[in-house]
Amino acid sequence: MSALFEPYTLRSLTIPNRVWMPPMCQYSADTSGPGTGAANDWHFSHYTARAAGGTGLVIVEATAVSPEGRISPADLGIWNDTQAASLRRITDFLKGQGTVAGIQLAHAGRKASTDRPWNGGGPVGAEQGGWQPVAPSALPFEEGHHVPAELTAPEIKHIVAQFADAARRALDAGFEVAEIHGAHGYLLGEFLSPHSNHRTDEYGGSFENRVRFTLEVVDAVRSVWPEELPLFFRISATDWLDEGGWTPDDTVRLAPLLKEHGVDLLDVSSGGNAARVRIPAGPGYQVPFAARVKAETSLPVAAVGMITETEQAEKILSNGEADAVLLGRELLRNPSWARLAARELGSDVHVPQQYHRSV
């Protein structure tokens, strides 16, 4: 069996292969009435197609823990039971195909209240369904974006509780993996980085203070997430800044703390917290960040970043650079990537009975 199609067990959960789908926002949730933030037919068809294609783990897109935590008015939410119920149809189908259902719990912080990307992605006001974003410090993401309100200590505690409530609902909705979103310049990542966190209280300044909110969220989610099920954390390994930002050294330093607090795997991405930085994107460009965490800590890792080819993905795993790979844009292009890769490698993967003629 190839490394790519070897099952992977975390706690008591076994994921059938190492081809995973990362969270990718669809900006297609309902935007009005009691169904605001709920999943609909688009989400069902989108996620179930990848399960039918043999993907071992599908992580549902960044799902907001509060209305203010959405990136856009069209984001998925999980702050109420109606939203959670809308996701059950998806998790039931995924499980029926042997795919593990995961969800990313998120708060957009200062990057909230923006439009859909295909509408330009700029900030939206109240007349367009927007709201006042919040952040560790009153610093906009870039010129022209909302100036966020600086969170008070009680407000921070309230958001920690919202993450725990969201995790409870995710469990009720049938998810077996929860991922906390600490990457791409959203709220937790904003607290981690000195670029966006200029606080002088117990949540700012030193490394220990800047990671405090993250660890409080992890503790809150872990306290309600079953002991037998895994918890992931997604991180941007670097802000891609020459100075004054979050660095790969910081990521390696944080990883053991996350593990001590109950995180089972680090989903390693990069960027998103500083506007207009130069990122040397290319095939596998983020894999070295995951590889370093794996080499220098005992926390399992998943690698991302322009992983598109079967041989490329197989080598990442067989070389010990990561424990799994997450294919984003490639799975948007080809929902059956896992099935085709298994054929190339002479491995087995789940194929729906209806698709057996394609084998």
Locate the domains of the chain by residue range.
8-358
Task: Indicate yes or no: pTM above 0.85.
Answer: yes
pLDDT of the residue at 33: 87
- Rounded to whole angstroms, the Cα distance separating 346 from 340 reads 10
pLDDT at 358: 81
For 269-311, how does the pLDDT look when each residue is reduced to its tens digit (9 = 90+)? Answer: 999 999 999 999 999 999 999 999 999 999 999 999 999 999 9
Q: Over 90: is that where the pLDDT of 1 sits?
A: no
Condensed to tens digits (0 to 9), the pLDDT of residues 40-73 reads 999 999 999 999 999 999 999 999 999 999 999 9
**pLDDT value for 32:** 86
pLDDT tens profile 124-164: 999 999 999 999 999 999 999 999 999 999 999 999 999 99
Task: Please tell me the predicted confidence (pLDDT) of residue 141.
Answer: 98
Q: Which two tokens stand for residue 273?
A: 């917290």
Mean pLDDT of 214-218: 99
The CATH code that applies to domain 8-358 is: 3.20.20.70
CA 141 to chain CA centroid, Å, is: 20
The catalytic residue positions are 186
Query: Once rounded to an integer, what is the mean pLDDT over residues 4-22?
Result: 98
> Percentage of the chain surpassing pLDDT 70?
100
Which parts of 170-210 are beta strand (E)?
177-182
What is residue 227's predicted lDDT score, i.e. its pLDDT? 98
The span from the CA of 191 to the CA of 17, in Å, is: 34
3-state helix, strand, coil in the chain (%, to 5): 40, 15, 45
Distance CA 11, CA 71 (A): 32
In this prediction, residues 167-171 reach a mean pLDDT of 98
Residue 359 pLDDT > 90: no
Summary mean pLDDT of the chain: 97
Task: Look at residue 309 in the predicted model and tell me its pLDDT.
Answer: 98
